[in-house]
């Protein structure tokens, strides 16, 4: 997710993707709701600071930005109404 200049995320409520998209490091991300059967607002924030990303063994871990800092939990702000 770190190799493109601009990034588009369709909000399918995939935790890892949405943590990076909502964190929006370098203002490179654009989040859009899904076009067909869009998801409703997620009731709780994405658990970016704890378990949203996966380590090499597949276990949940904190998501980290390019500088290695833990991404804080992110609210779901782009969804179907």
Rounded Cα distance between 67 and 40, Å, is 32
Rounded Cα distance between 75 and 37, Å, is 20
Residue 40 lies in a domain: no
Residue 62 lies in a domain: yes
Give pTM, 2 decimals: 0.90
Within 10 Å of residue 45's Cβ, how many Cβ atoms? 16
Residue 34's pLDDT band, with cuts at 50, 70 and 90, is very high
Q: What is the mean pLDDT of the chain?
A: 93
Residue 1's pLDDT band, with cuts at 50, 70 and 90, is low
Number of domains in the chain: 1
Nearest to 78 by CA among 35, 44, 32: 32
* pLDDT tens for each residue of 14-28: 999 999 999 999 899
Q: Looking at residue 52, what is its pLDDT? A: 98
Residue 61 lies in a domain: yes
Instruction: Give the CB-side neighbour count of residue 39, counting CA atoms within 13 A.
Output: 15
């Amino acid at each position: 997710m770190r190799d493109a200049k601009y990034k588009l995320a369709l909000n399918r409520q995939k935790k890892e993707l949405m943590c990076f998209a909502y964190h929006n490091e370098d203002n490179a991300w654009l989040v859009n709701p899904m076009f067909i059967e869009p998801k409703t607002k997620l009731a709780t924030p994405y658990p970016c600071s704890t378990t949203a990303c996966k380590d090499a063994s597949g276990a949940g871990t904190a998501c980290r930005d390019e500088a290695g800092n833990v991404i804080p939990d992110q609210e779901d702000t782009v969804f179907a109404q």
